[in-house]
């Protein structure tokens, strides 16, 4: 059985129809691609905000000469974002290195601190910045006992005691006198260790007991007291006496202590009485009648008992080690 074939004209028509359909589809597809709206560009990711720099700022108004404590500083962001090379950035600055410093230039509350505005312990000018207004720093040598004991530290308060030889203008003799010439004086430095109230690892204070012997002590004095101390150094020996933390009073009477007052005072000998028993029996005295205008009779006075006189001078031998010295004490 033979299959029927389409006439040639029918096949041409089908091919023509298929070609038309394809051309129409291509035209519509090309027009859609050409006329379609362009897709919106992808949104770019916004860059993360720049971190605001945080610096060490003043928590209070800091005047010149103030010793910085932990309550005087705070970490704060920079308001305008401008950071100078002298600012103390967080992460690059240790707060402990700032505590215990002294303000060299006044800083208002909230303003960033700078290295040029402070002086740290050990740096040049720290002692001058730590002094109170209208005060002077005077350095004096200390005696061997104070040096070896090393009990005086910066921040302590002491009395200054002078021991000197004074000449008596009347007798032309010298006597040793000791007197307190200054009271409640603040120690600002021992050797080259300067006072810092920040008692921390980086605060500038050495632990007690780890310091070498003290050879010099620097005291904070008013100008008049500084002159007295410098004059006293040329006249005798200076010693320091530690003051109690609770003792702020100054004595009204600072009478010098003379060497003679250290010697025992001799009691005057009692008068010698006549030997033998003393009569204690009362003797009756007859009554006398005086005529008007007559004078009373005179009675013989009892003989006075002589009192031995004390020697005007006492000689005392003083031993200092292997040396012997004879001192004459005048009564």
Q: What is the CATH number of the domain that holds 103?
A: 3.90.1210.10
How many domains in the chain? 2
Whole-number pLDDT of residue 6? 56
Taking a C-beta distance cutoff of 8 angstroms, is the pair 195, 127 a contact? no
pLDDT of amino acid 286: 53
Kindly state the average pLDDT of the residues 244-264. Answer: 67
Q: Do 183 and 198 sit in the same domain of this protein?
A: yes
Has residue 279 got a pLDDT over 50? no
Does 266 map to a domain? no
Please tell me the distance from the alpha carbon of residue 173 to that of residue 166, in angstroms, as a whole number. 8
Residues 243 and 161 in one domain: yes
Instruction: Tell me which of 241, 259, 277 is where a domain ends.
Output: 259
> Mean pLDDT over residues 253-266, rounded?
61
- pTM comes to 0.52
Q: Tell me: do 182 and 113 sit in the same domain.
A: no
Q: Which residues pair with 138 in a beta bridge?
A: 219
Could you tell me which residue, 309 or 110, shows the higher pLDDT? Answer: 110
Domain membership flag for residue 175: yes
- Tell me the residue range of the domain where 125 lies: 50-130
Question: How high is the mean pLDDT of the chain?
Answer: 75
250/139 same-domain check: yes
The answer to whether 152 touches 187, Cβ cutoff 8 Å, is: yes
Burial class (CB in 10 A: 0-12, 13-18, 19+), 154: buried
**Band of residue 220 on the pLDDT scale cut at 50, 70, 90:** very high
Whether 270 shows a pLDDT value over 90: the answer reads no
Task: Verify that 79 and 120 share a domain, yes or no.
Answer: yes
Is 213 part of any domain? yes
Residues in the chain: 331
Question: Is the pLDDT score of 229 beyond 90?
Answer: yes
Beta-ladder partners of 2: none
Looking at residue 72, its pLDDT comes to 92
Residue identified by tokens 């707060």 is 95
Segment 248-264 mean pLDDT = 63
Asked, for residue 312, whether it belongs to a domain, the answer is no
Tokens of 168: 């008596």
Q: Which of 111, 130, 149 is the last residue of a domain?
A: 130
155-213 residue pLDDT tens: 889 999 999 988 877 888 888 888 899 999 999 888 877 766 434 434 444 444 455 67
Structural domain contains residue 309:
no
Span 40-75, pLDDT tens digits: 777 777 777 777 888 999 999 998 888 888 899 999
Q: What is the mean pLDDT of residues 251-257?
A: 63
86-90, 189-193, 203-207, 225-229: which has the highest mean pLDDT? 225-229
Could you tell me if 67 and 105 lie in one domain? yes
Whether residue 168 sits in one domain with residue 123: no
Of 225, 259, 293, the domain-final residue: 259
In terms of C-beta distances under 8 Å and separation of at least 24 residues, what long-range contacts does 141-148 make, across chains too? 141/215, 141/216, 141/238, 142/214, 142/215, 142/216, 142/217, 142/238, 142/240, 143/237, 143/238, 143/239, 146/214, 146/217, 146/239, 146/240, 147/213, 147/214, 147/215, 148/213
Asked if the structure places residue 296 within a domain, the reply is no
- Whether 159 and 248 share a structural domain: yes
Q: Are the CB atoms for 114 and 87 separated by under 8 Å? A: yes
pLDDT band at 224; cut points 50, 70, 90: very high
Q: What is the pLDDT, as a whole number, of residue 107? A: 92
Among the ranges given (123-137, 217-231, 280-294, 306-320), the one the predictor scored with the smallest mean pLDDT: 280-294
Does residue 113 sit in the same domain as residue 141?
no
Higher-pLDDT residue of 252 and 231 is 231
Could you tell me if residue 163 is inside a domain?
Answer: yes
In a domain, 44, yes or no: no
- Please report the pLDDT score of residue 266 as a whole number: 59
Task: Give residue 320's pLDDT band: very low, low, confident or very high (50, 70, 90).
Answer: low
Band of pLDDT at residue 82, cut at 50, 70 and 90: confident
Residues 137 and 254 in one domain: yes
Clarify whether residues 100 and 213 are in a common domain: no
Position 230 pLDDT exceeds 90: yes
Same domain, 97 and 154: no
Work out the percent of the chain whose per-residue pLDDT is above 70. Answer: 63
Task: Using alpha carbons, list the distances in angstroms from residue 233 to 141, 160, 164, 213, 257.
Answer: 9, 11, 10, 21, 18
């Amino acid at each position: 059985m033979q299959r029927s074939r389409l006439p040639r004209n029918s096949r041409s028509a089908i091919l023509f129809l298929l070609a038309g359909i394809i051309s129409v589809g291509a035209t519509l597809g090309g027009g859609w691609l050409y006329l379609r709206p362009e897709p919106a560009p992808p949104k770019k990711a916004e860059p993360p905000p720049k971190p605001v720099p945080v610096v060490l700022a003043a928590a209070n108004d800091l005047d010149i000469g103030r010793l910085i404590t932990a309550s005087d500083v705070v970490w704060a962001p920079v308001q305008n974002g401008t950071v100078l090379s002298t600012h103390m950035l967080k992460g690059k600055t240790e707060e402990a290195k700032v505590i215990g410093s002294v303000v060299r230039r006044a800083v208002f509350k909230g303003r960033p601190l700078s290295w040029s505005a402070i002086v740290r312990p050990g740096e040049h000018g720290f002692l001058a910045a730590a002094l109170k207004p209208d005060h002077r720093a005077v350095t004096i040598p200390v005696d061997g006992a104070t040096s070896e004991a090393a009990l005086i530290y910066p921040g302590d308060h002491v009395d200054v005691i002078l021991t000197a030889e004074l000449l008596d203008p009347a007798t032309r003799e010298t006597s040793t006198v000791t007197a307190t010439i200054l009271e409640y004086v603040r120690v600002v430095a021992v050797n080259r260790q300067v006072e810092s109230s920040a008692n921390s690892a980086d605060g500038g204070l050495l632990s007690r007991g780890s310091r070498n012997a003290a050879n010099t002590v620097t005291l904070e004095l008013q100008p008049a007291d500084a002159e007295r101390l410098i004059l006293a150094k040329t006249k005798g020996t200076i010693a320091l006496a530690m003051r109690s933390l609770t003792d702020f009073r100054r004595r009204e009477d600072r009478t010098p202590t003379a060497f003679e007052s250290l010697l025992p005072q001799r009691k005057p000998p009692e008068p010698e009485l006549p030997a033998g028993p003393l009569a204690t029996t009362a003797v009756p005295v007859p009554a006398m009648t005086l005529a008007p205008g007559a004078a009373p009779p005179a009675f013989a006075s009892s003989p006075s008992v002589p009192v031995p006189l004390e020697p005007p001078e006492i000689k005392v031998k003083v031993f200092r080690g292997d040396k012997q010295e004879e001192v004459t004490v005048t009564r």
